Structures are given as structure tokens and as C-alpha cells.
């Protein structure tokens, strides 16, 4: 089973980091294929807690080769900051490979991200402010800076100068900010060149060679299906393809090599930033989920919006990604609830709608139609097999499985690395 794709099923923070870590002992390569340091993955190993943003979570497992492929946008200061932080904790980062075609987040992307959000006022997206959107915009607009440009000062300067020509007009005349000089950008980027050079290669070639050699490659998605620029709740999305298709264009590996698509889904739903969220709770139940699930952003520390499980979203995720397996996380957070509502369909302006509506206004107007499931009170964090789960917890999982379109192969019962019930092997 050579290539496996792992994606988020909802609006992010489903526990993809932990799921990747679970599989990492059986894989050879882990690939971050989209996004940048907007991601925030928390992995708990024994007493140690790791927060990863730009590096894929699989880097924590000895023997795995981590790859940052062409679909990623890289903030070099963050990259080297994370590398040093991990190295100082004894993690081997020497095998890290970076695509020559990945794009760079420069200081003007970070500045533009922040000022455009401020300018949008109440209509803001609630971005992480890391420069992700402006960097992808430049990529699509064909004025981006790529990793390989850093090794040719002449080309780098020319590209930075032409990008800044328009951006400085915007910064000075529209946003009232100071102009950014090409010199400051170029010298900052060049300062990383010597450390970056040994890591850079044709990652598509390396990955395809590895697959030819029967190595196992895991593609670890950042963000999630509902934040995907094509399939998410546009414009309240990130600027990359976080879905399984993005793993292919984002890495230069073809679809015929993929055997399995795993979606990580929380036993309830959370979202950070603005945008529609039908099952969002504004009462004490929402507070309960936030406090018990510790739903605060790994990247920005913002409190996450919380709500019940949304089955039409899970079905949508199965369809968009071709999901073969779900990893259900945070079932333990629901312990102690008397009743657990699950959204089974929506009411859109008086009409029952069973699937995620394609029309943005309909989704904004969608109110959930709930079915209630009885809860359980037993502590499940020590449970390691499905049969040991309380009967109502089993029923809840099986009901979600029946509604979501693919089998639930693993169930998270706590933050720790081993707090998981495996029903079907994923690798």
C-alpha cells in the first residue's frame, strides 16, 4: 500500500497531527503538501507536547523522511525556528527535504495579510495573519518567489523588485503603510540560502522513486475540507487545496498511486475565524465542549467556535476526497453528556436539505435538524478496544459511521499518543 492521503474532514484542528503520529511508525515518508504555518498540530508523546506549524507531524518519528513539497508556502524564519526548536529537544531533522518549487512567504505577504484583514473590518476572514493568502495569490498571479530563486541573487532581486512595484503602491496609497524596499527583502531571504541549500531537491522525483521502491508515503494535509479554496465555505477558507486532490498537484505524484484516503473527523465540530457553521453552539453546551476539549487555537490561541457533529459535512468530505477511512477523534470529550445531538440534515428556509448546499446563501441560512443520541458517563480514556467502550458510545460511533459514508477505522479517546482504539488497520 504505497501512498496514503490524510486530510481534515471539517474546519481544521480535528487531530490530524495525532493521526499522522499514529501511522508514522509504519511509514517511510511524510509529506506536507499544502498550506504553511497557518496549520497548528499538537502531538502529545508521553510527558512531551509538541506544537508543529510548518513541519509535518511525522517528523517526530525516528526513521521517517519528512518532505515539504511544491504545494506549500514557506516562511523561512518559521522553518528554521521550528527546525532548531525540535533539534534542541533531540528530534532528528536531518532528513528534511524541501521542494525547489515551493513558494516563499516574504515580509510583504505577512504585512499585506494583516492590513487587508484590518481593512475588511466586519467582513474579515479571520486569517491567521501569517501571509498565507497573499503568498498563494502571488503564486497564481505568477509573481511569486520560489525556493529555487533564493540561490540566484540576480533572479531573486528582479522578482522581488517587480512584485514590490505594485505592492508598494497598495501599501502606501491604500493602506497608509511604509514602502518595503527590495534590499531588505532580498537580504533577509539570502541570509537563509546556505542553510536551505542542502535540503532542497526535486521532491516529486524523490517521492516517485520512493514509491517505485515500495516505500510507504503519507500525505499529511493541513487545514481541512471545509477550508479548501475550491470546496470549502468560500470566501471563508484558506488559500490552498486542503482536500485529497491537493496532495497530488501539491506534490507531483499521480492519482493512480494512491491507495487510501483517510479523513480525520472530530466527534463534534469546531471552527476558527469567520464563516458559516450551522451546528455552532452559543450556549453552555458550546462552553462545555470548548473547556473540556481545550478548544483554543494551536497557532493563534483564539477560542475555537464549537458545535455538534454535522453528518452532511462528513458525507460531503467523503465525496470530495474519496474517503476510504475515517479516524474519529475526541470521543472522550463527549463523556458525561446526557444527550448528544447530531445534525442529520438541514432546514433551509423551510425545506429539508440532506446534503451540504452548493449555494453559499443557502448554507448561511441552514439550520440543523438534530437527532439525539443517549450519552455515557464512564471514563473511556483507558479503553483500547471497541468492545470495551460503553454501549452508548459504541452506538454513537456506529450511528456516525452509518451517516458519514465510510468506515470509522480508529477512534481517539484522549490526547496521548496511545489513546486510540483501532478497528481496522490503516497501513
Q: Which residues lie near ligand GDP (CB under 6 A)?
A: 8, 12-18, 40-42, 44, 298, 329-330, 332-333, 412-415, 419
Q: In the chain, helix, strand, coil percent, each to 5?
A: 40, 20, 40
In angstroms, rounded to a whole number, what is the distance separating the alpha carbons of residues 176 and 115?
9
Nearer to ligand GDP, 59 or 112 (CB): 59
Query: Do the beta carbons of residue 201 and residue 101 sit within 8 Å?
Result: no
Q: How far is CA 289 from CA 227, 281, 283, in A?
A: 21, 9, 10
Report what 60 binds from ligand IMO, ligand GDP, Mg ion, none; CB cut-off 5-8 Å by kind.
Answer: none
Nearer to ligand IMO, 132 or 196 (CB): 132
Task: Give every CB contact of residue 19 below 8 A, 6+ residues apart in sequence.
Answer: 6, 262, 264, 327, 329, 410, 412
In angstroms, rounded to a whole number, what is the distance separating the alpha carbons of residues 196 and 274?
35
In angstroms, rounded to a whole number, what is the distance separating the alpha carbons of residues 29 and 106?
28
Query: Per the residue annotation, which of 21, 28, 41, 113 is the catalytic one?
Result: 41
Nearer to Mg ion, 133 or 222 (CB): 222
In three-state secondary structure terms, 363 is helix
Report what 167 binds from Mg ion, ligand IMO, ligand GDP, none; CB cut-off 5-8 Å by kind.
Answer: none
Is position 213 annotated as part of the catalytic site? no
Report what 223 binds from ligand GDP, ligand IMO, Mg ion, none; CB cut-off 5-8 Å by kind.
Answer: ligand IMO
Query: Do the beta carbons of residue 397 and residue 411 sit within 8 Å?
Result: yes
Query: In the structure grid, which three cell numbers stand for residue 167, read together?
Result: 505592492
Nearer to ligand IMO, 116 or 158 (CB): 116
Nearer to ligand GDP, 38 or 106 (CB): 38
In angstroms, rounded to a whole number, what is the distance separating the alpha carbons of residues 324 and 68?
25
Residues of this chain that bind ligand IMO (CB under 6 A): 8, 11-13, 38-41, 125-128, 130, 132-133, 222-224, 227, 238-239, 272-273
Report what 305 binds from Mg ion, ligand IMO, ligand GDP, none; CB cut-off 5-8 Å by kind.
Answer: none
In three-state secondary structure terms, 368 is strand
Q: How far is CA 415 from CA 150, 164, 264, 268, 303, in A?
A: 39, 44, 14, 15, 18
Report what 412 binds from Mg ion, ligand IMO, ligand GDP, none; CB cut-off 5-8 Å by kind.
Answer: ligand GDP
Is position 13 annotated as part of the catalytic site? yes
H-type helices in 191-229, by residue range?
193-196, 203-212
Report what 329 binds from ligand IMO, Mg ion, ligand GDP, none; CB cut-off 5-8 Å by kind.
Answer: ligand GDP
The residue behind cell 477523534 is: 329
Nearer to Mg ion, 128 or 251 (CB): 128
Nearer to ligand IMO, 78 or 353 (CB): 78
In angstroms, rounded to a whole number, what is the distance separating the alpha carbons of residues 397 and 376?
12
In angstroms, rounded to a whole number, what is the distance separating the alpha carbons of residues 216 and 30?
9
In angstroms, rounded to a whole number, what is the distance separating the alpha carbons of residues 395 and 378?
14
- To ligand GDP, the closest distance from the beta carbon of 359 in angstroms equals 28
- To ligand IMO, the closest distance from the beta carbon of 123 in angstroms equals 13
Residues annotated as catalytic are: 13, 41
Amino acid at each position: 500500500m504505497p501512498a496514503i492521503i490524510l486530510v481534515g474532514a471539517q474546519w481544521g484542528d480535528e487531530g490530524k497531527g495525532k493521526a499522522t503520529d499514529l501511522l508514522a511508525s509504519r511509514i517511510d515518508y511524510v509529506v506536507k503538501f499544502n498550506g504553511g504555518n497557518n496549520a497548528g498540530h499538537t502531538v502529545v508523546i508521553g510527558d512531551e507536547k509538541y506544537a508543529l506549524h510548518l513541519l509535518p507531524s511525522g517528523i517526530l518519528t525516528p526513521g521517517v523522511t519528512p518532505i515539504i513539497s511544491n504545494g506549500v508556502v514557506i516562511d523561512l524564519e518559521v522553518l528554521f525556528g521550528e527546525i532548531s526548536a525540535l533539534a534542541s529537544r533531540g528530534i532528528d531533522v536531518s532528513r528534511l527535504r524541501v521542494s525547489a518549487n515551493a513558494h516563499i512567504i516574504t515580509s510583504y505577504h505577512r504585512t499585506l495579510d494583516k492590513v487587508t484583514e484590518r481593512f475588511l473590518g466586519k467582513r474579515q476572514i479571520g486569517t491567521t495573519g501569517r501571509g498565507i493568502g497573499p503568498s498563494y495569490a502571488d503564486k497564481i498571479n505568477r509573481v511569486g518567489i520560489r525556493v529555487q530563486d533564493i540561490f540566484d541573487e540576480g533572479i531573486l532581486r528582479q522578482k522581488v523588485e517587480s512584485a514590490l512595484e505594485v505592492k508598494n503602491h497598495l501599501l502606501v496609497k491604500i493602506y497608509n503603510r511604509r514602502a518595503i524596499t527590495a534590499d531588505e527583502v532580498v537580504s533577509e531571504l539570502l541570509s537563509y540560502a546556505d542553510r536551505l541549500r542542502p535540503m532542497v531537491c526535486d521532491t516529486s522525483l524523490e517521492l516517485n522513486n520512493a514509491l517505485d521502491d515500495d516505500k510507504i508515503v503519507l500525505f499529511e494535509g493541513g487545514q481541512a475540507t471545509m477550508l479548501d479554496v475550491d470546496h470549502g465555505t468560500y470566501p471563508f477558507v484558506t488559500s490552498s487545496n486542503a482536500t485529497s486532490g491537493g496532495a497530488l498537484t501539491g506534490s507531483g505524484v499521480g492519482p493512480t498511486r494512491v491507495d487510501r484516503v483517510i479523513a480525520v473527523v472530530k466527534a463534534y465540530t469546531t471552527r476558527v475565524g469567520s464563516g458559516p457553521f450551522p451546528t455552532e453552539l452559543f450556549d453552555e453546551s458550546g462552553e462545555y465542549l470548548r473547556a473540556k476539549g481545550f478548544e483554543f487555537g494551536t497557532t493563534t490561541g483564539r477560542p475555537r467556535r464549537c458545535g455538534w457533529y454535522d453528518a452532511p459535512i462528513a458525507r460531503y468530505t467523503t465525496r470530495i476526497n474519496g474517503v476510504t477511512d475515517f479516524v474519529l477523534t475526541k470521543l472522550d470529550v463527549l463523556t458525561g453528556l446526557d444527550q448528544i445531538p447530531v445534525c442529520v440534515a438541514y432546514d433551509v428556509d423551510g425545506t429539508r436539505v440532506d446534503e451540504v448546499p452548493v449555494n453559499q446563501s443557502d448554507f448561511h441560512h441552514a439550520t440543523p435538524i438534530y437527532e439525539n443520541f443517549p450519552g455515557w458517563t464512564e471514563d473511556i480514556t483507558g479503553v483500547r478496544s471497541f468492545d470495551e467502550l460503553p454501549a452508548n458510545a459504541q452506538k454513537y460511533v456506529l450511528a456516525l459511521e452509518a451517516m458519514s459514508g465510510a468506515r470509522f477505522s480508529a477512534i481517539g479517546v484522549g490526547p496521548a499518543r496511545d489513546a486510540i482504539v483501532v478497528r481496522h488497520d490503516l497501513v
